[in-house]
Each structure stands twice: as C-alpha cells, then as structure tokens.
C-alpha cells in the first residue's frame, strides 16, 4: 500500500517544522528563557490541587487565565482567545479566514508551514536591506493579491529587529475596513486582517500595538508566554475585537489548553516580580553579548529587540558545527539567510561559555 498516494499533495510536499532535541551542555537554539518563571512553592500548591481533579476536563474558556491576561494587557476578557501556544492560534486564524496569507521573509516559519498545511496560498515579500518591511512592494502586492491575513512578527524572528511602527501602521491603514465606500456593504477590495505577532515584545523598547486595537478593527495582536519563561506550558493569546474572537473561537478545539497549564500560568501571572527581574537580566545580557560579538573579527551581529541575536559569520556552518562539538547549540539559519546563525540569550554563565568558545573557533 502506498501511503504517499493517500496524503494530500500540499502535505506531501510539506517539510515539518525543524524542532529536534540535540543533546548539548548549553542550549541557545530555541529562543527560550533560561529561567523558569514560576515560584516553586506556589505552583506546587496549585498543581497539587489540580492533580486531584484531573478526572475532569479543563475549563474550556480558561476563565481565570483570560481574566488575568485581560488585566495585564488592559483589554477585556472578551478580547482574548487562548491557544496551546501562539502556533495554535496562527493555525486557527488561517483556518478561519483562509488565504492568501502574506508575510515578509525571512520571518517565523510557521506562517508558511501552516498556510501550506491548510492548502492556502502564501505571498512572501522580501524584507529590505535593513530587515524592515518593504512598504512599496507590500502595498503593491496587497492590491494585487488581496490577502485575507498579513503576519508581521515585530520584533521579527529570526532577524531580531522591530519593524518601523510607521510602516506597520501604513499597512494596517491601507487594508483597514474603514476604507469601505459609503453605502457599499461589501468589504473594500484591499481589506485584510493584519496580525502583529508580539512574541518578543517584552524584550523591546518599541510600543506594543495593543492600544490601537480600538482604532483599527482589522488589527490582531498575538502574544505568548513561551519567551518569558513558560514555554513548557504552551500558552499563547490572540487579542482582537470581539467579532474576530468569536469567529476564530468557532474553530478552537474545546479543551485546547490543559488544566495544569492554566493553573500554573495563573500562579505565574499573579507574581510577576520574578518574571520582570529575569527579563531585565536577559536584556542586559543581550547588550553584553552584542558588544562582545562586535569585537570578534569575522562576526557581524545584528542589533536585536528580542531575546536572541542574529549574526553573520564566514563559513557559518562550520562555526555552528564546531560550537555544537563543544556542547554549545545555537540555530543554523544558513538555509534562510546566507551565512547567518542565531544565538538565544542565556544565563550570564551560558553566554560566557558561548562567547569563549566562539572566540576560540574564529
Ligand atoms: N511567533 C513567533 C514570532 C515566534 O518566534 C514563535 C516561537 N518561535 C511563536 C510565534 C510561537 O510561539 P509559541 O507557539 O511557543 O507560543
């Protein structure tokens, strides 16, 4: 029996997301936080309580968690949808609205992978030489392809920079529903939903797009707890107007976030002092890493607003392999950006090991 013949063509040609577990001493490949953002004692009590009710399904609405997140983000609980990671919410959005799906490249690979999995057309627009949005090309492509969804990861993974706010705003305005002609009930030809993926917002000085949600009905903001010390919980949030939330909620699997994740996240969000101090440390370590990397001949680090640094190195694959041989795992991006590698900011000790090993190799 030929299983391949049974697989849908769009899935047959799909390459799975690259997420291997490679044994190493220093793991700086996946943009995780080096610190678990939870106080042991409080989470233990909360977990204990929840272990006794594991015979029950989780709260399908994640009521307590959404309420806390709403307070944190200064929106209403009705403006938030919870996902098993923000990956899942990307899946739900493309399932709900379909394509074309537009995004600049290079960017987070899941926008493309999920579009292909759902057999939706992808429109990829190259970033400009400063890794910022090429507004002219994007606007032209929007008019031509009329995408339903536009994904803008800012700060962008893997380049690390924020896109200029004015450029993002131009795209939101160019595709805003308010462009509808008076008396014309059809959606304007250029109407699109713009998803600003703020997975790395906590590491950036740029303003969030959340305050603009009231003004632009075509704006969606994505957030995740994965980068701030809770990647293992798998929790992401989609924030948008209620009409969008209600539509996407139709495709959400009823019990998508398990009860242990809900309970632990609630505890973590109640005590944000610890989380904030970890963020401060990661940001100051990013600055140190950048300064030190700039001093190494043959390496060009790119400025970052996120918890990782993209850098160019002559013979990058060799550098990646030799770092790994010394127990330091980073991300090989040479297939995406020529001669580029990406290192996640770790603890001060891990960063020092990375820098020392890198200096020895170069
Ligand atoms: N968006 C961006 C830009 C990311 O880099 C990632 C993780 N690499 C995600 C979303 C997904 O995060 P998660 O599913 O862990 O919430």
Residuewise pLDDT in 10s, the chain (362 residues): 899 999 999 999 898 877 778 889 999 999 999 999 887 677 777 788 888 899 999 999 999 999 999 999 999 999 999 999 999 999 999 999 999 999 999 999 999 999 999 999 999 999 999 999 999 999 999 999 999 999 999 999 999 999 999 999 999 999 986 544 555 554 455 699 999 999 999 999 999 999 999 999 999 999 999 999 999 999 999 999 999 999 999 999 999 999 999 999 999 998 888 889 999 999 999 999 999 999 999 999 999 999 999 999 999 999 999 999 999 999 999 999 999 999 999 999 999 999 999 999 98
> According to the model, what pLDDT value does residue 353 have?
97
Model pLDDT, residue 1? 82
- The pLDDT of residue 183 is 53
CA distance 122 to 113: 9
Distance CA 170, CA 75 (A): 24
Q: What residue ranges line ligand 1, CB within 6 angstroms?
A: 31, 85-87, 108, 153, 157, 197, 199, 224, 226, 231, 236
Return the domain boundaries, the chain: 3-30+273-361, 55-270
Are 86 and 236 in contact by the 8 Å Cβ rule? The answer is yes
Residue whose pair of structure tokens reads 């960017």 in the numeric block: 107
Please tell me what DSSP assigns to residue 333.
-
Q: Give phi and psi for 187, each to the nearest 5.
A: -70, 140
Task: Put the strands of the sheet holding 299-301 in their side by side order.
Answer: 299-301, 308-313, 340-344, 331-332
Strand runs (DSSP E) across the chain, as ranges? 26-27, 80-83, 101-105, 122-126, 149-153, 193-197, 219-224, 236-239, 299-301, 308-313, 328-329, 331-332, 340-344
Residue 197 Cα, ligand 1 centroid: separation in angstroms? 8
Four-CA torsion 231, 235, 241, 244, nearest 10 degrees: 110
Residue 285 CA to residue 306 CA, distance in Å, equals 11
Ligand 1 centroid–CA 234 distance in Å is: 10
Q: What is the CATH number of domain 55-270?
A: 3.40.640.10
From 86, 151, 202, 336, mutation site for ligand 1 pocket: most ligand atoms within 8 A of C-beta? 86
148 alpha carbon to ligand 1 midpoint, in Å?
21
Query: What is the position in ligand 1's atom list of the atom closest to the CA of 225?
Result: 16
Distance (Å) from CA 93 to ligand 1 centroid: 14
Q: What is the DSSP string of 107-134?
A: S-THHHHHHHHTT--EEEEE--TTS---
Question: In testing the pocket of ligand 1, which one of 105, 156, 157 has its CB within 8 Å of the most ligand atoms?
Answer: 157
Tell me the helix, strand and coil percentages in the chain, rounded to 5: 45, 15, 40
pTM, to two decimals: 0.94
> What's the pLDDT score for residue 179?
42
For ligand 1, what atom is nearest to the CA of residue 108? 3
3-30+273-361 placed in CATH 3.40.710.10: no
Give the strand pairing for 149-153 and 101-105.
Answer: parallel
For residue 12, the tally of other CB atoms under 10 A from its CB is 11
How far is ligand 1, taken at its centre, from the CA of residue 362, in Å?
31
pLDDT at 39: 72
């Amino acid at each position: 029996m030929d299983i391949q013949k049974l697989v849908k063509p769009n899935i047959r040609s799909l390459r799975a997301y690259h997420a291997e577990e490679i044994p190493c001493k220093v793991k700086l490949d996946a943009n995780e936080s080096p610190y678990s953002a939870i106080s042991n004692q409080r989470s233990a009590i909360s977990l204990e309580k929840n272990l006794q009710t594991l015979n029950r399904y989780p709260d399908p609405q994640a009521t307590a968690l959404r309420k806390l997140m709403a307070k944190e983000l200064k929106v209403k609980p009705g403006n938030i949808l919870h996902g098993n990671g923000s990956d899942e919410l990307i899946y739900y959005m493309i399932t709900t609205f379909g394509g074309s799906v537009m995004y600049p490249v290079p960017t987070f690979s899941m926008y493309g992978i999920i579009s292909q999995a759902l057999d939706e057309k992808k429109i990829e627009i190259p970033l400009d030489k400063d890794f910022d949005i090429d507004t002219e090309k994007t606007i032209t492509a929007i008019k031509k392809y009329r995408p339903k969804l536009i994904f803008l990861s800012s700060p962008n993974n893997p380049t690390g920079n924020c896109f200029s706010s004015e450029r993002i705003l131009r795209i939101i305005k160019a595709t805003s529903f308010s462009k509808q002609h008076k008396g014309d009930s059809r959606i304007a030809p250029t109407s699109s939903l713009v998803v600003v993926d703020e997975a790395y917002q906590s590491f950036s000085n740029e303003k969030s797009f959340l305050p603009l949600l009231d003004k632009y009905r075509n704006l969606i903001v994505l957030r995740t707890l994965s980068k701030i010390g809770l990647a293992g919980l798998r929790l992401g949030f989609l924030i948008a107007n209620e009409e969008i939330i209600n539509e996407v909620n139709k495709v959400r699997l009823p019990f998508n976030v398990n009860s242990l994740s809900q309970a632990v996240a609630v505890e973590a969000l109640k005590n944000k002092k610890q989380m904030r101090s970890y963020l401060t440390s990661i940001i100051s370590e990013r600055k140190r890493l950048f300064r030190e990397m700039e001093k190494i001949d043959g390496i060009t680090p790119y400025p970052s607003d996120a918890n990782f640094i993209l850098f160019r190195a002559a013979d990058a694959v060799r550098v990646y392999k030799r770092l790994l041989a010394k127990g330091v795992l980073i991300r090989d991006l040479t297939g995406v950006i020529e001669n580029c590698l990406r290192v996640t900011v770790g603890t001060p000790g891990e960063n020092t090991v990375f820098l020392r090993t890198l200096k020895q190799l170069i």
